[in-house]
Amino acid sequence: MNELSKSYSPKEIEDKWYEQWEAKKYFAATTDKQHNYSIVMPPPNVTGILHMGHVLNNTIQDTIIRFKRMTGHNTLWMPGTDHAGIATQNKVERKLADQGLTKEDLGREKFLEETWKWKEEHGNLITTQLRKLGASLDWDRERFTMDEGCSDAVKEIFIKLYNDKLIYQGEYMVNWCSRCGTALADDEVDHHEKKGKLWHLRYPVKDSDEVLVVATTRPETMIGDTGVAVHPEDERYAHLIGKSVILPLVGREIPIFADDYVDMEFGTGVVKMTPAHDPNDFEIGKRHNLEIINILTEAGKMNELTGKYEGMDRFDARYAIVRELEEKGILEKTEAHDNKVGQCYRCDTVVESRVSNQWFVSMEPLAEKALEVVRNGKVKLRPKRWEKVYYNWLENIRDWCISRQIWWGHRIPAWYGPDNHIFVARDEKEAAEQATAHYGREVELRQETDVLDTWFSSALWPFSTLGWPEKNEDLARFYPTNTLVTGADILFFWVARMVMMGLYEMDDIPFDDVYLHGIVRDEQGRKMSKSLGNSPDPLKLIDEYGADAIRFTMVYNTSQGQDVHFSEKLLEMGRNFTNKVWNVSRFVLMNLEGFDIKTVNKDELKFELVDEWIYSKLNKTAADVAEKLDKFTLDEAAKSAYEFLRGDFCDWYVEMAKGRLGEDADEVSKKTAQYVLWTVLEKGLRLLHPFMPFITEEIWQKLGAEGETIMLQDFPVREEAMVNEEAEKSFEYLQTLISSVRNIRAEVGVSPAKPVVAIIRTNDEAELEIIEKNKEFLVKLANLESLECGKEVEKPAQSSFRVAANSELYVSLEGLLNPEVEIKKINVQIEKVKKDLDKVTNKLSNEKFVSKAPAHILEREKRIQQEFQDKLDKLEENLKAFM
């Protein structure tokens, strides 16, 4: 057996083991196992670099897949990246701009060549970084949303949806990002509360002295007004319905009409109608045949219809128009007004509503089945509370705008004839054949220039990555997949659409379980971003703390569905734990001289109470961790493994085993302790492996266990014969006695190195027997000068007291402390703790603080309050010993 180095150095082992794992194809799915388990990785953007959200997401997936691999499943964790249409095109355009070029200078084909070059040069960065994290992905099956197979899948689905009348083209109101220069789907628009203004404008009624005062948040769009609406039951304006107003600044006559949409209580109860620039106005305009006048360019500037404002940015034009309205006496007043403003999810540019010719997917027919499979439990969202959000979105779903006015992406497989007749086909040859049949002659065709929304190809990910539209063994074996792990923030972008497309094409759900984790935030609850400077570099953290420490910390601190409030301080726990595991393993290895697990005869061993206890705890923990991993409560599974290894094994068993390992120790007891240390450590490493793969592999190899790698060993299972409730109960009694002595020392200020006298009084025969059989352990671990126990033993005159089960424990303080000095010292501490307790109690009694503080801050303050109260109670109890 090999020894471990004195200190744990993650750098020395992590890259080494990952290279071996990958080279030996340990991550690969096979065809020789029947129990299949598959996860498709949410494909990170090809432009991406590892961030803390990726760390959390992929650590969760890897923990699950490693656990399933160890429980006998044929596992497939499918890797891949997304072409990220808008983001990637922006990267390449910025690169060209540095050279003084635009994409138009190159032309479409040359630009796409440059984009593919950029992808080949930079696109593998994040997959390289995922290896540093220990992600056990089946790299030989890695996919890209624009590789040949995935592209074929996109064409096939588009054609099928089109032929089934579920894809259509039309001129509708869409969300438009002027910076990205493309339409966006509704769920690609983030709405934020903004402080704004409400301008009240005077619109003169034609052939009258009356004016209608219109309240608007967007005065710059008034040049495109084509009507003014009032509520049909609003008596203030009933006499004006059917008349006209003269549009200020423009002089155009526009009608006054009635519509139920108008809110009589908002503003003045009069709404200007700009059908080209507001989705509600667009719908109302269709009902009342209003003209659509677009006054903005695709770049968000005022167009030629705006006269002297032509070429101005829309927001600059707003204030220029307001100044003119004020100068001409048209502006009646201005009020502060907060409203929700839509912004592009990619670049945060304020989104415009724009009438545009786009491609859409009819969502209602697809949504019906997607709702049903969640309602009937075939697809399980975890945590379950997300079901309500899922239902709400699908029940109120709008058609999906899938066309994007960019060049990088899946070009829509459609061609136009001379009269704009549409031919949807796999390629130009097939489109030409359709056109010839349609026109009765060969005609020139023009290909659609738009590409598909990136999320369109992502919606096919669970089956396109497995080879569809080809029918192959992978598709038959691994579809539907088992689990999807993703952020709750893309429940609509991606999850719901995968469910719809899976049911539509494969006639089956794409996955059984959806684990929706929260967002990684900073300590203040803010979302991490480069602009805030609160997003740490995971690679630097891995370099400093090691991947295992980071992985374990993230899982340990992530409750199902809850956001993670991350700080680097959290990683200290993970690092301390890895060091503890390393050091205890080093101790075990150093004390296995002359021991060979292959030659041990168990019949020659003699198991003591502590041995039976640790085996019982190990077997219960193995079952508990497995159950919690199966239920996706990974944080609880991590805590269970931690409490066993850090607490039961390191702090208790190993400490009690030390006295059995010396040269003068009883040979049978020593062999038994060595056997238990080896077997519990070996199983404990397997228990820990899904969370911390690198350190467990390194130590497991040094133990000399049978097998090539720990990751292909069985996950520990509960052996009922090893569960011993009586041994646990007895040992817990010993733990209570030892902990009580240690706590008394700490509270009265006696050094742990100073031996003390302990007296245990009990009438319980079983407890007396436990004490007698384990007296040596008690004396050593509690550092006792002497231990007296019995039914009639005398209580020391000056002592501290605890109750342990049916026993009374006394620690003599005679000669250890000066009573007057201790009383004074304790009173000083009491006064300080009272002040601290009053301070936090007053804070929690402040209604203003309680109503505004975030939940995690309130929890922290309550925890601090309880800690101060517990400390005060103990101090007052200690004071009694000296009175």
pLDDT-based confidence at residue 676 (cuts at 50, 70, 90): very high
Same domain (yes/no): 666, 739: no
Residue 882: per-residue pLDDT: 66
408 in any annotated domain:
no
Q: CB neighbours of 227 closer than 8 A, spacing ≥ 6?
A: 254, 255, 256, 257, 272, 273, 275, 285, 288, 290
Q: What angle do CA 793, 794, 797 make, to 5 degrees?
A: 155
| Torsion, CA 365, CA 366, CA 367, CA 369, rounded to 10 | 100
Tell me the average pLDDT across 530-534.
74
- Asked if the bond preceding 365 is cis, omega within 30° of 0, the reply is no
**Between 852 and 671, residue with greater pLDDT:** 671
Identify the residue whose tokens are 């059984």: 512
Q: How far is CA 770 from the centre of its chain?
A: 48
Tell me the average pLDDT across 37-64.
94
Determine whether 304 is exposed, middle or buried from the number of CB atoms within 10 Å of its CB (0-12, 13-18, 19+): exposed
Quick: pLDDT tens for 364-415.
999 999 999 999 999 999 999 999 999 999 999 999 999 999 999 999 999 9
20 in any annotated domain:
no
Is residue 639 marked as binding? no
**How does DSSP classify residue 309?**
G
CB atoms within 10 A of CB 309: 22
Decide if pLDDT at 817 tops 80: no
33 in any annotated domain:
no
Tell me the average pLDDT across 510-520.
95
Decide if pLDDT at 794 tops 60: yes
Domain count for the chain, please give it: 4
Same domain (yes/no): 669, 803: no
Quick: pLDDT tens for 597-653.
999 999 999 999 999 999 999 999 999 999 999 999 999 999 999 999 999 999 999
CATH number for position 630: 1.10.730.10
Same domain (yes/no): 791, 848: no
855 in any annotated domain:
yes
Identify the residue whose tokens are 């689905």: 157
- Asked if the bond preceding 383 is cis, omega within 30° of 0, the reply is yes
728 in any annotated domain:
yes
In Å, how far are 177, 365, 708 from 368, measured between CA atoms? 30, 6, 49
Decide if pLDDT at 164 tops 90: yes
Same domain (yes/no): 211, 290: yes
CATH number for position 855: 1.10.287
**Mean pLDDT score of the chain:** 92
CATH number for position 749: 3.30.2320
In Å, how far are 262, 448, 582, 643, 705 from 716, measured between CA atoms? 66, 58, 20, 16, 14
pLDDT-based confidence at residue 192 (cuts at 50, 70, 90): confident
Residue 173: per-residue pLDDT: 81
Q: Strand 74-78's sheet: what is its strand order?
A: 74-78, 36-40, 481-487, 511-517, 380-382
Same domain (yes/no): 590, 679: yes
Residue 777: per-residue pLDDT: 86
Q: What percent of the chain is predicted at pLDDT more than 90?
A: 75
Q: CB neighbours of 548 closer than 8 A, spacing ≥ 6?
A: 10, 14, 134, 574, 578, 691, 692, 693, 694, 695
DSSP 579-605: HHHHHHHHHHHHT-TT--GGG--GGG-
The b-or-e profile of 865-881 (16+ CB within 10 A means b, else e) is beebeebbebbeebeeb
CATH number for position 194: 3.90.740.10
Residue 255: per-residue pLDDT: 96
- The residue from 795, 817, 839 where one domain ends is 817
18 in any annotated domain:
no
Same domain (yes/no): 694, 586: yes
Decide if pLDDT at 883 tops 80: no
Same domain (yes/no): 773, 832: no
Q: CB neighbours of 621 closer than 8 A, spacing ≥ 6?
A: 640, 641, 643, 644, 648, 687
Query: What length does the chain have?
Result: 883
Decide if pLDDT at 780 tops 70: yes
pTM of the predicted structure, to 2 decimals: 0.83
Residue 341: per-residue pLDDT: 86
pLDDT-based confidence at residue 871 (cuts at 50, 70, 90): confident
Quick: pLDDT tens for 69-91.
999 999 999 999 999 988 899 89
In this structure, of 207-211, 395-399, 854-858, the range with the lowest mean pLDDT score is 854-858
pLDDT-based confidence at residue 234 (cuts at 50, 70, 90): very high
pLDDT-based confidence at residue 53 (cuts at 50, 70, 90): very high
Phi, psi dihedrals of residue 521, rounded to the nearest 5°: -115, 170
Question: Can you tell me the distance from the alpha carbon of 666 to that of 661, in angstroms, rounded to the nearest whole number?
Answer: 9
Q: CB neighbours of 265 closer than 8 A, spacing ≥ 6?
A: none
Same domain (yes/no): 707, 732: no
Same domain (yes/no): 813, 823: no
Tell me the average pLDDT across 14-33.
92
Tell me the average pLDDT across 828-846.
90
Question: Can you tell me the distance from the alpha carbon of 293 to that of 221, in angstroms, rounded to the nearest whole number?
Answer: 10
Decide if pLDDT at 1 tops 60: no
Of 574, 510, 565, nearest in space to 545 by CA: 574
Same domain (yes/no): 563, 689: yes
- The residue from 798, 817, 836 where one domain ends is 817
pLDDT-based confidence at residue 184 (cuts at 50, 70, 90): confident
The identity of residue 872, as a single letter, is: L
Decide if pLDDT at 529 tops 90: no
56 in any annotated domain:
no
Question: Can you tell me the distance from the alpha carbon of 516 to that of 388, in angstroms, rounded to the nearest whole number?
Answer: 14
SS3 per residue for 408-460? CCCECCEEECCCCCEEECCCHHHHHHHHHHHHCCCCCCEECCCEECHHHHHCC
Structural domain span for residue 692:
543-723
Tell me the average pLDDT across 422-447.
96
717 in any annotated domain:
yes
Same domain (yes/no): 286, 304: yes
Identify the residue whose tokens are 């952020």: 487
Residue 698: per-residue pLDDT: 97
Decide if pLDDT at 363 tops 60: yes
Element (H or E) spanning 283, and its range? helix 279-287
**End-to-end CA distance of the chain, in Å?**
58
Same domain (yes/no): 639, 769: no
Quick: pLDDT tens for 313-352.
999 999 999 999 999 999 999 988 888 888 887 788 888 8
Greatest extent of the chain over all pairs of C-alpha atoms, in Å: 116
- The residue from 352, 369, 403 where one domain ends is 352
